[in-house]
Amino acid sequence: MADSWRERKRLELKQALYEKAIELFEREGYESTTVQQISDAVGVAKGTFFNHFPSKEHVVSEWYNEITTRAIESARARPQETAKAAVAALFADMSGQATASPELMIVTSRNNSTPLLLEATRHQVSQINRFLTEQCELGVARGEIEADTDIPFFVALLTSVLSGTSRAWSLTAERFDFPQLISQRVCFLFRAVERRATQGKR
């Protein structure tokens, strides 16, 4: 009983540090925010932060993985009529979450070659690819996508569109509507395979 109480308190403190760090990164900037500021804002010693997160970058990595996991869980709980609708909804959810935290989005784009964020990116891509593959295979089974479509290649195209649009949004000075543009690009790719499927039925 005591162990479960301690574990609950530990998780609550970690969550408080995480949320405060995200808040300060967005308000003050990632580089300008110090671990001391985060710790002070939560009312704990600086060393307590490091007990939960080895660095500020670990907070960003957790955020990066969290938005993907949350979007995919939401997509699985919300059945779509078509593969295109499922993929478009997933990408819209992810892009909406990402653009709601522009500072963190910029940090992940600029620092995604660091070992920690590179691993987070690989994990994110793995989760996304699994979901996209499932949806595209369902699309083939339902006759939405031509049976001889190279699913791994098509999934790679979809993933590239997401990552490319994300990077462009993060690194260009002029902000565009990320959710809207990603939806348009997903629909463009699906129109090609849907057109082939339709023609094959004639």
* pLDDT 10s digits, 77-114: 887 789 999 999 999 999 998 888 889 988 888 877 78
pLDDT of residue 62: 93
**CATH 1.10.357.10 domain position(s) in the chain:** 57-201
pLDDT of residue 2: 65
* Segment 4-50, tens digit of pLDDT: 878 888 899 999 999 999 999 999 999 999 999 999 999 999 999 99
Is the domain covering 57-201 a CATH 3.40.50.620 domain? Answer: no
pLDDT of residue 129: 96
Spatial CA neighbour of 101 closest among 158, 140, 56, 60: 60
Pick the CATH number of 1-53 from 1.10.10.1100, 3.40.50.10860, 1.10.10.60, 3.50.50.60: 1.10.10.60
In angstroms, the CA 9 to CA 14 distance is 9
> Other CB atoms closer than 10 Å to residue 135's CB: what's the count?
24
Confidence of residue 197 (pLDDT cuts 50, 70, 90): very low
